[in-house]
Amino acid sequence: MCTPADKPNCWKCTLAVEWHDCQWCPAIVQRQGMEFRRGITRRTCSERNINLIKPMKTKSLFNRRTSSAFTLIELLVVIAIIAILAAMLLPVINIAVTKAKVNKARTEVQALANAIEAYDSAYGRFPVSPGVQSLASAAGGDFTYGGVFTGPTPASLGTTYASGTYYTNNAEVIAILMDLTTYPNGVNTVNYNHVKNPKQTKFLNASYSGSTGYEPKPLGGVDNNGVYRDPWGNPYIISMDLNYDEQTADAFYALHGVSQLNGQSGINGLFNTNSANPSSDSFQFHGKVMVWSAGPDGKFATQDGSGNPLSAVAGVNKDNVLSWH
């Protein structure tokens, strides 16, 4: 144990303590623009504040949106590309749509011809009204259901007799084949009470278009007046062998200027039955029925723009859709 004299210097009795009156505390400092930053400061006796964490720099929402938006030039480039692609695809789409309609017309003309032949097999006569049969018998020839065409160039087609040309559409034929007693518009048909189809057999299944038939461009299908129209809105043309000689003469394709190929030989398999005059308008189809459509352009003509004869495979006639070829 140390003496009193040794106490000031004795390590056993002296304990050195270094005292710092310090404390740690968090500080929140308000800055300009309502921004806050947090820091940890050490407060000493001199009340010093030391920021230990720097504020994080952030972009405003407005700046982030602005930097991710398209520029006007980029938008114009995108629009130009879309316009170019549309211009390239539009002709291809139009060709595809036209081809699909042509295929549909081919199916419908063939189905219509088959339905007429089936009716003839079932009843031993053709699906025509007594009035049409009387006209054909008096003239000793065949009959063409044509009508008025409302296409780009309005035209009419019918069968010519001594008393004039009889223009009528295919409505009465369709009524008999579909066993309609009234048309969609409520008017009675020639098959009223099933007089022309007593077995009530539906030889033809055709869709109704709901068209009045008087629009500038009617829809395809059976309209409210019973007219069966092609995909371009024109009536299907039907010719039948009403003199029962197994040859059918169509009011349009019988013309030599349209169908003559070489002498008695005709275009699309037709043949001139008048051997004495190969250039007569007697080109016929060896069969009972001819059904055709005026095609995508809705036109048919006997002459071109210069007044020269126009064949069946030229000009506006070359796109016609035929059941026999």
Task: Return the bridge partners of 148, or none.
Answer: 156
CB-CB contact of 53 with 38 (8 Å):
yes
The closest of 234, 200, 207 to 221, measured between CA atoms, is: 207
- Whole-prediction pTM: 0.73
What is the spatial distance between Cα 325 and Cα 316, in angstroms, rounded to a whole number? 17
* Cα distances (Å, whole numbers) of residue 27 to 38, 48, 145, 299: 7, 12, 101, 92
pLDDT number for residue 45: 42
pLDDT number for residue 212: 93
What is the spatial distance between Cα 218 and Cα 120, in angstroms, rounded to a whole number? 30
Write down the number of H helices and E strands in the chain: 5, 16
What is the spatial distance between Cα 137 and Cα 130, in angstroms, rounded to a whole number? 10
Locate the domains of the chain by residue range: 142-322
pLDDT, block means (10 residues), the chain with 325 residues: 55 52 55 47 47 54 58 88 87 90 97 98 96 86 82 65 74 98 96 97 96 90 96 95 94 94 94 92 96 93 90 95 93
